[in-house]
A and B are shown apart, each in its own frame.
Chain A
């Protein structure tokens, strides 16, 4: 028998521009896709993906901590939204 050791959690954070905020990079990507003849592509929006390893076992506490990180550094809530996924 081995005792189960607590493993670290991972958090995946997706940061996207809020609706209504102009995204010139997304537009440029869209134009480039059209140049490659990809048809039927509507609006393109680009964002950021941040993966964090957390030395923590409680998913709820981990979520709260990452949300604080998002508010204080990872996202600028003037123009960005964030979604957090905790992977156990």
Chain B
């Protein structure tokens, strides 16, 4: 399985993502610079977390207009699996591959801690190694993770079962108290229409080794391998 991690000035989870991908696939991903316009054929594209372009204007806004992004949008429309983690999720909404936007956290504070998220659907490219309704403990680290979309979009996401993860408490109950950032309907991650593109705020690549304090992110990468190596 071949994968690519796109690197932007200010990305800081690109190497974490590369380590996680290599651990799961046995092959190091291509690291592709944002100014490149050529992207070799790959089975998976990862837009990593970080603070691309200093979060100027809006998180992910400048990165979403980088030269490489035209090709990524084209691949995304062709059905190539893409995941955007944290800042990468912001790039996916800013580029129009996913609906809505990640706004400033409701509490105005940068949040860096482990959260619990509930897996909605365990039949997707990114979640097939988990159980449906499983609660995962995964870290978040963001200032703009407050998902917002208009009511029609939210209804569409709910109706099409496209909400991938919701913030929950330790028991898996989706409550207001368990919502760290004010996200609408506790949304922590969403899919595009076909399920080939996933954006999520939590960092599964930071929960793949016991020394991280948890390994609940491993299933994210083994799911991808299982789905894409078949």
Q: Do A and B bind each other?
A: yes
Interface positions of A (Cβ within 8 A of B): 21-22, 24-25, 28, 72-74, 76, 78-79
Known contacts A78-B100, A79-B103; A22/B182 CB under 8 A: yes
- Interface size (B, Cβ < 8 Å)? 19
List of B residues within 8 angstroms of A74 by Cβ: 57
* B159 part of interface (Cβ distance < 8 Å): no
Are A76 and B61 closer than 8 Å at their CB atoms? yes
List of A residues within 8 angstroms of B104 by Cβ: 24-25
Nearest-CB distance from B138 to chain A (Å)? 24
A-B contact count (CB 8 A): 33
* B42 part of interface (Cβ distance < 8 Å): no
Q: Mark B60-103, 1 if CB is under 8 A from A, else 0.
A: 01000100000000000000000000000000011000011101
* B9 part of interface (Cβ distance < 8 Å): no
Report which of B61, B105, B149 forms a contact with A73, defined as CB distance below 8 A.
B61
Give the one of B58, B104, B108 with max A CB within 10 A.
B58
Known contacts A24-B106, A25-B108; A79/B101 CB under 8 A: yes
Nearest-CB distance from B99 to chain A (Å)? 8
Are B148 and A79 closer than 8 Å at their CB atoms? yes
Are A24 and B108 closer than 8 Å at their CB atoms? yes
Interface positions of B (Cβ within 8 A of A): 57-58, 61, 65, 93-94, 99-101, 103-108, 148-150, 182
List of A residues within 8 angstroms of B108 by Cβ: 24-25, 28
List 15 contacting pairs A-B, 8 Å CB cutoff, sorted by A: A21-B103, A21-B148, A22-B103, A22-B182, A24-B106, A24-B108, A25-B108, A28-B108, A73-B57, A73-B65, A76-B61, A78-B101, A78-B148, A78-B150, A79-B103
Are A22 and B106 closer than 8 Å at their CB atoms? yes
List of A residues within 8 angstroms of B61 by Cβ: 73, 76
Top 6 closest pairs, chain A to chain B, by CB: A78-B101, A24-B108, A24-B106, A76-B101, A79-B101, A28-B108
List of B residues within 8 angstroms of A21 by Cβ: 103, 148
List of A residues within 8 angstroms of B65 by Cβ: 72-73
Cα-based distance from A74 to B182 in the complex (angstroms): 24
Select from chain A the residue with minimum beta-carbon distance to B106: A24
Cα-based distance from A73 to B53 in the complex (angstroms): 14
Nearest-CB distance from B197 to chain A (Å)? 17
Cα-based distance from A28 to B182 in the complex (angstroms): 15
Cα-based distance from A76 to B107 in the complex (angstroms): 21
List of A residues within 8 angstroms of B107 by Cβ: 24
Nearest-CB distance from A8 to chain B (Å)? 23
Select from chain A the residue with minimum beta-carbon distance to B100: A78
Report which of B58, B105, B150 forms a contact with A76, defined as CB distance below 8 A.
B58
